[in-house]
Structure 1
Amino acid sequence: MKRVFGVKKDKEPPPSIQDATDRISKRGDTVDEKLKKLDAELSRYKEQIKKTRPGPAQEALKSRAMRVLKQKRMYEGQRDMLYNQTFNLDQVSFASEGLKDAQQTTFTVYCML
């Protein structure tokens, strides 16, 4: 029969809340690194803008700096969303631990009676 229908494959256990929190935190750290790189680039453009005379060259530098600033704002928004998700997962984890503790306490009290 195994030849006809095959064998049931073992499923991996679903990820826990802690696994999801760790994965999201790792993504948040990656976004933080990108933000640091963009900050360095912005400071470099700021110095170049100070050194150049007003004109087309300075305007080109300003437009590049604005592009980098928009990217930075986008990444900051993504980072904030990731941190909010981490916070929500921590709240869920705390609530589920509280429920488990309450269930264990209730069971212990019931067994004593």
Structure 2
Amino acid sequence: MISARIFSAALGATLLFATTGCKSTPPPKPIEQLTTEEAHGYAVFQAHCAQCHRDRTDGKLVGPPLLGVTKKQYLPSGAPANDERMSATILHGRGMMPAQPLDDQELADVLKYLHTL
């Protein structure tokens, strides 16, 4: 007979898998389907962010991957995953991430691009 402790642990593991194992990040929007603004944001990302962050895969470079970043409740830092917080992080930096000197249009477009991931 299975002890209550083993049964309880197995049930907990099953429930954990059922609630977290099935959640996957949807694939990013294909590059050839990006709008003009999103494509410009992709170019800005490549110029300012890609050396430290992966965007279309979940592999880590220097900084955390950004695949699905806007589809999550929180950023890897624990801050809310919203445009206001992402804008502040991009423009002012945080921790090891340096500030990025983007103009208003570049910032708006890179945020649009991040929403496609």
Task: Give the TM-score normalised by structure 2.
Answer: 0.30
The structure whose residues are more often helix, as a share, is 1
Structure with greater Cα Rg: 1
RCO greater where, 1 or 2, for CA within 8 Å and sep 6 or more? 1
